[in-house]
Amino acid sequence: MKLAYPLAGVTILLVCMWLMPSHQVDSKAKQSNSVYLGEALRAAPADPLHMRIRQMQARRPGVRYRVHEVQAALAEPSLWTLVVPSAHTPSKWPVHLNRLKLESLLVGDQIHIQMPPEGTDHVAIIERVTQTLDGLTWFARFADDTAGGQASIKLTLRAGQVGAAIDSKEGKFALEVSKQGAWLIAGHD
């Protein structure tokens, strides 16, 4: 059977698509009782947590963030901590990196980091976040910087890999992350 008006079918399809809800609940979310961004935004669109997650999603559209996981990451003050300050080589210290904490950082956020060799705790303030075609870069300064702005941190998330360059009063370090773990390595620019 031919339609008298060939565009009528297309029009009906478009109207049906327009009437359908724009959000679909992921079947995995139903199975795991996890709250994903879509459900959370319908529940409380003005909540600062959900606004943060919206910004995170905008920066990394292919990544799905669970509200309770982001909330837990934000509750943790440290971006990284030294695993065992005494268990290191002379220039390489193992650290525990909170990757989701990194992904959740926005301009103005404060983070705590521990720097070798003594595990000194520092507070850093995120000053700028830039997005490139292949990743994100966060620029921060130490809140306790007495060197006139010389102490800084540059954190990068590129193609799923994390790295950092740190210039602190303890010296220059690089954050190296692999499947085996994360380390602060002394003497890198």
Q: What is the pLDDT of residue 150?
A: 66
Residues written for the chain: 189
Element (H, E) at 9: helix 6-19
Under 8 Å between Cβ of 165 and 188? yes
Mind listing the pLDDT tens digit for each residue in 148-184? 556 789 999 887 789 999 998 888 999 999 888 899 9
Cα-only R_g, the chain: 22
SS3 66: strand
Largest CA distance in the chain: 82
Label residue 105 exposed, middle or buried (CB < 10 Å: 0-12, 13-18, 19+).
buried
pTM given for the model:
0.68
Task: Say whether pLDDT at 19 is over 50.
Answer: no
Q: Is the backbone peptide bond immediately before 116 cis, with ω within 30 degrees of 0?
A: no
pLDDT band at residue 137 using 50, 70 and 90 as cut-offs? very high
Mind listing the pLDDT tens digit for each residue in 98-122? 989 999 999 999 999 888 888 888 8
Matching residue, tokens 């620019």:
189
Structure token digits, residue 165: 């360059």
